[in-house]
Amino acid sequence: MHELGITQNIVAIVSEHAHGSKVKRVLLEIGKLSAIMPDAIRFCFDICSQGTVLEKAKLEILEISGLGKCRQCDAEIPLEQPFGECQCGSKYIDLIAGQELKIKEIEIEEICV
Ligand SMILES: [Zn+2]
């Protein structure tokens, strides 16, 4: 399960950004073609966040649909897998969305001084 390593990375990056403050919410973008299972990330997040500033933070995951662009006719093609065929018959499709794994937003608890 490679999601565990990915989640550990996410927790490490977010912790660094938080500078010791409590994290309230994390928004991730995960492409549907990235072979990363959002449910597995959620499961790992509960484990990895324990004892860190991310503990009890809300994890939101935005799934990004796959999208390709035909090299021949420039048509955009929705993709369910990281390959496909354009209506024009071309198989030369560049992936333009669906493979991302991004930390989109981090919400940190404000500390009243
Ligand atoms: Zn085409």
Domain boundaries, the chain: 3-65+98-108
3-65+98-108 fold: hypothetical protein PF0899 fold (3.30.2320)
| Residue that the structure tokens 């662009």 belong to | 69
What is the per-residue pLDDT across 12-48, written as a single tens digit (0 to 9) for each? 999 999 999 999 999 999 999 999 999 999 999 999 9
What is the per-residue pLDDT across 58-98, written as a single tens digit (0 to 9) for each? 999 999 999 999 999 999 999 999 889 999 999 999 999 99
| Residue that the structure tokens 């649909």 belong to | 65
Cα(64) to centroid(ligand 1), Å: 22
Q: How far is CA 110 from CA 6, 18, 103, in A?
A: 27, 11, 20
97: nearest Cα among 112, 110, 82: 82
Provide the residues around ligand 1 (an ion) whose CB is within 5 A: 70, 72-73, 75, 86, 88, 90
